[in-house]
Amino acid sequence: MQHDLPKLSISPVEALIITLILLGGISYAIIFSGVVPHVPIVLAVICLLVYGLIKRVPIKDLEAGLVDGAKSGLGAVFIFFFIGMLISSWMASGTIPTFIFMALEVVDGKFFYAIAFVVCSIIGLSVGSSLTTAATIGVAFMSVSSALGLSEVITAGAIISGAFFGDKMSPLSDTTSLASMIVKVDIFEHIKNMTWTTGPAFVLSLILFAILSPSEASASFEMINTLKAQLLKLEFVHWYSLIPFILLTVLAIKKVSAIITLSASVVTALAISFFVQNDMSLEKMMNLLFFGFKSDTGVEEIDSLLTRGGMESMMFSISLVLLALSMGGLLFKLGILPALLEGIKGLLSKQSSLISATAGTAIGINFLLGEQYLSILLTGNAFQESYDKAGLERKNLSRVLEDAGTVINPLVPWSVCGVFLTGVLGVATIDYLPFTFFCLLSPILTVGFGLTGFTITKSAKAAA
Are 121 and 141 in contact by the 8 Å Cβ rule? The answer is no
Q: Which residues fall within 8 angstroms of residue 242, CB to CB, at 6 or more apart?
A: 95, 98, 99
pLDDT of residue 434: 94
pLDDT of residue 257: 76
Each residue's pLDDT tens digit, 342-375: 777 666 667 888 899 899 888 988 887 777 887 8
Mean pLDDT is highest, among 270-279, 365-374, 415-424, 436-445, for 436-445
Q: Locate the domains of the chain by residue range.
A: 75-314
With CA atoms as reference, report the closest residue to 243 among 274, 264, 258. Answer: 264
Higher pLDDT, 153 or 110: 153
Q: How confident is the model at residue 88 (pLDDT cuts 50, 70, 90)?
A: confident
Are 381 and 410 in contact by the 8 Å Cβ rule? The answer is no
Each residue's pLDDT tens digit, 281-298: 889 999 999 998 988 877
| 81-85 mean pLDDT | 84
Each residue's pLDDT tens digit, 232-272: 888 888 999 989 888 887 887 777 777 888 899 899 999 99
Q: Left (φ > 0), alpha (ψ -120 to 50) or beta: where does 235 sit?
A: left
Residue 455, classified by CB atoms within 10 Å of its CB into exposed (0-12), middle (13-18) or buried (19+), is: middle
How far is Cα 97 from Cα 62, in angstroms, rounded to an integer?
48
Q: Is the pLDDT of residue 430 over 90?
A: no
**What predicted TM-score, i.e. pTM, was given to this entire model?**
0.71
**β-sheet bridge partners, residue 458:** 392
Q: Is the pLDDT of residue 438 over 80?
A: yes
Are 297 and 234 in contact by the 8 Å Cβ rule? The answer is yes
Each residue's pLDDT tens digit, 114-168: 988 998 998 888 778 787 788 767 876 786 776 566 788 999 999 999 999 998 9
With CA atoms as reference, report the closest residue to 73 among 385, 258, 329. Answer: 329
